[in-house]
Structure 1
Amino acid sequence: MLVVMKFGGTSVGSGKVIAEVAGLVKEQEGKKVVVVSAMSKVTDSLIEISERVVSVPKVQVEKSVDMFIRDLLLRHRTAAFEAVTDKKVLSNVLDELIKTTDELRIALLGVGYLGDLSPKSKDYIMSFGERLSILLVSGALDSVGVRAKPVTGFDAGIVTDDKFGCARPQHKKMVKSVGHALSPLLDAGITPVVTGFVGGTESGVTTTLGRGGSDYSASLVGRYLKAD
C-alpha cells in the first residue's frame, strides 16, 4: 500500500503541530509520501519582502533583507527545537536551515540591488517556504523513527513548463520522472517529504504551480505513483 499524505500551512505552522504530523505519519501503515506546504503565512511574507526590497532605496536593501532573514530563521529554529527531539538530527536540521536561509538572503539581495523582480526570481524566492518546512518535517519524522528525506518538487519529478507564477505540469514527462525520483526511496524504506507548490523546468529552473499548488502537487505525486 502507498499513501500520499498532504499537510497544509496550518498543519505545519509550529513545532508542536509538526510533531503531531510526525506522529500521524508514523501511525500510517505502508509506504508513504508526505507533501507539505510552507509554515502558515510564510509564503505571503516572502512575496511581501521580495516586492519591498525592489522599491526601497538601495542603502536600505541589506538592512531590510537581514531583518527578514533573522525573523524567518528564528521562527523555523524555534519550530525545530519543538519538533525535532533527536539531538543529532536537530543539529543537522539547524545547519540546513542556516544554509537555506543564506541562499534566500543572496537571492533577495540580488533582486533588491538590481531593483528587478522577474516572475522567474519571484518563483525562486517563493519556493523557500516549502524548502524550509520539509527540513522540519523530515527531521521530526526521523526523531520518531521514520526514515525520511526532504525532496524538492523538481527532485521529486514534478516537471513543468516555464510559465512562472502558475506553471503547468508536463504530464508526459512526469509519467516516468516521478516514479524514477521517488520509487527508489520508497523501496529503501525512506519516506520522501516533498515540497508542495514547487516544481521545475526540464533544465531545473524553479517554478511554482500557483497559490494552492500544494494540493495539486500531492495529487500529481499520487497519480504518477499510483497511490492507494
Structure 2
Amino acid sequence: METLIAKFGGTSIGNGERIRKAAQSVVNEFMKGNRVVVVVSAINKTTDNLISITEDSIGDDPTPKQMAEILSMGEMTSARVFSSVVESLGVKSEFIDPYNRFWPILTDSNPLKAKINFAASEEKSKEISELLDQGIIPVICGFLGKGPRDEITTLGRGGSDITAFFLGHALEANEVIIVTDVNGVMTTDPNKIEEAEKLDHISVEEMRDLATHGAQVLHPFALQYKDPRIKAKIISFEKGDLSDSGTAIIGPLNGDMLKTATLYPEPISVVAIVGEKMLNKKGLLANLTSVLAENDINIFGISAGENSVTTFINKKDADNAYHLLHTLVIGSDRLSSLSLGQDIAMLTVVSPDFIETPGIISDITNPLRKNNINIVEISSSQTAVVIFVDWEDGKRAFEYVKEVLE
C-alpha cells in the first residue's frame, strides 16, 4: 500500500468531463489498494472570474481579508464537486476546507501571502491519516490556509503546489503527483518548437531555474517544499492515469531548498580582453570559449561590454588560458590586447526566494560595502547571485553574506 498525493490544476478539472476523468483516476488507484489524498485548485478560470467580478463591483477597495475570502470560493467549490464525483463512483470521500475539523494547513495572519506554520501544520496533518485508515479519500483545497484566529488565508502564487508538496512531507507519502495540462516537462515549449521532447526526469534545481525563467508547469516557490525523500512527478490529465510516468522531479540533491552561500575554495583569475566594438563581431564569444574548452579550461563566469570581455577561470589554468587567448587576440582584427588580473574569490548565493525578494542584491552587497570590501564583478539570475571579490577578502565576505541569509 502506498500513500499518494494527487494535485489537480485548474485546467485538469476545467469542466465536468475532466473532473469525472480525474476522479476516476483517483478511484482507480484506490482500488489498487493505495491511499490517495487529493489536492485541488480552483476550476479553470474561476479565480480570474472572481477577481474580475470583484474589480467590476468594488474596484480597488476590497481589504486583503475580504479578497482572501472571495478567492477561497474557487478552491472550496472544486473540493466539493470533486468529492461528490468520487462518491458517485462508489468510494467514500470527504471534502476538507478551512472550516473542516481536519483542515491541515495552518498559517500566519497574512491574508494573501501567508506562510505555513510548519510545526503546527505537521501535527494537524496527522489527522488526515485517520480518514485514510477508514478508506476515505480526502479532497483538500489547495492554495488556502487558516490563520491563528481561524481566518481564511491564501498561500500566494503556486499555492496549490505548495499544499501538495507540504502534505507529501507531512504524511510521509510515497509520491506527489502534479496533474496538469502538459504531458510532463518538455525540452522546450512544444507550441513554439514541434520537435520538443518530454523529459523522463529533471532535478529540482533544474526545474526551479526553468520555472523562474518562464516555464508555467510548476511555480518555483513551491519546489522548496518538496521533501527529497519523496518521489514526485508531473503528468497530463488527458490520459486519466495517475500511474503514467510523466516527468519525475528528482531531489533536491542538497536535501533542502534553503538559502545557501558557498565560497569556492581555490583562487580565481581574471583574464580581460579589450577591443573595438567587440559585441558587433559575430562569433567572437564562441571563438573565445571554444579555445578554452578545447584545452579543458573551465569558465566560471564571463561578462561582456562594448569594448571588453572578462573571463573568470581557475588560477591553475590562468597562465595557459592567457597564452591561448593572446594567440586569439593577435589573430583578430577586432581585438587589441588582454591582461591577466589579480587573484579573486568567488561567492555563490542561492535561494528560491530571490525571485520574490525585491532588493535582495542590495541586502547581500551592503555589508561588503560597509566593511570596505570591493566587488570585482557580480552576476545574478532569479535564483542565484555570484560575487567576485579580492582573494584576501574572500573569507570575510563569505561570513558577512552568511549573516544576511540567517
Q: Give the letter for the 2:55 counterpart.
A: E
Alignment correspondent of 2:71 = 126
SS, match of residue 168 in structure 1: coil
- TM-score, length basis structure 1: 0.71
1:135 corresponds, among 80, 98, 103, to 80
Larger Rg: 2
2:216 aligned with 1:212, yes or no? Answer: no
- Taking the aligned partners of 1:132 and 1:225, their CA distance within structure 2 comes to 24
Alignment correspondent of 1:22 = 23
- TM-score, length basis structure 2: 0.40
Question: Cα RMSD between the aligned structures?
Answer: 1.4
Alignment correspondent of 1:175 = 122
Which stretch of structure 1 is more off in the superposition, 38-47 or 150-159? 150-159
1:104-157 deviation line (CA, Å, top 9, x unaligned): xxxxxxxxxxx8411011011000001001111111111111211110156421
SS, match of residue 11 in structure 2: coil
2:6 aligned with 1:5, yes or no? Answer: yes
- Taking the aligned partners of 2:138 and 2:148, their CA distance within structure 1 comes to 21
2:152 aligned with 1:189, yes or no? Answer: no
- Deviation of residue 210 (structure 1)? 0.6
- Taking the aligned partners of 1:153 and 1:218, their CA distance within structure 2 comes to 15
Alignment correspondent of 2:364 = none
Are 1:34 and 1:191, in contact at CA under 8 Å, matched by a contact in 2?
A: yes
1:157-179 deviation line (CA, Å, top 9, x unaligned): 10011112111000011120111
Are 2:106 and 2:116, in contact at CA under 8 Å, matched by a contact in 1?
A: yes
SS, match of residue 146 in structure 1: coil
SS, match of residue 150 in structure 1: strand
Are 2:104 and 2:122, in contact at CA under 8 Å, matched by a contact in 1?
A: no
SS, match of residue 27 in structure 2: helix
SS, match of residue 169 in structure 1: coil
Alignment correspondent of 2:172 = 226
- Taking the aligned partners of 2:126 and 2:52, their CA distance within structure 1 comes to 36
1:16-61 deviation line (CA, Å, top 9, x unaligned): 0011001110111311100001110100111121222214xxxxxx
Alignment correspondent of 1:157 = 104
- Taking the aligned partners of 1:122 and 1:147, their CA distance within structure 2 comes to 33
Aligned residues: 168
- Deviation of residue 203 (structure 1)? 2.2
SS, match of residue 135 in structure 2: coil
- Taking the aligned partners of 1:203 and 1:185, their CA distance within structure 2 comes to 25
- Taking the aligned partners of 1:25 and 1:51, their CA distance within structure 2 comes to 36
Q: Give the letter for the 1:16 counterpart.
A: E
SS, match of residue 4 in structure 2: strand
Q: Give the letter for the 1:13 counterpart.
A: G
- Taking the aligned partners of 2:36 and 2:166, their CA distance within structure 1 comes to 14
What pairs with 1:30-109 in structure 2 (closer than 5 Å)? 30-55=34-59
Are 1:154 and 1:199, in contact at CA under 8 Å, matched by a contact in 2?
A: no
SS, match of residue 11 in structure 1: helix
Report which of the two has the higher share of helix: 1
- Deviation of residue 212 (structure 1)? 2.1
Are 1:149 and 1:190, in contact at CA under 8 Å, matched by a contact in 2?
A: yes
Report which of the two has the higher share of strand: 2
Are 1:153 and 1:196, in contact at CA under 8 Å, matched by a contact in 2?
A: no
SS, match of residue 127 in structure 1: helix
- Taking the aligned partners of 2:21 and 2:168, their CA distance within structure 1 comes to 23
Change (3 A) 1:128 1:54: same
Alignment correspondent of 1:166 = 113
- Taking the aligned partners of 2:11 and 2:98, their CA distance within structure 1 comes to 20
- Deviation of residue 221 (structure 1)? 1.1
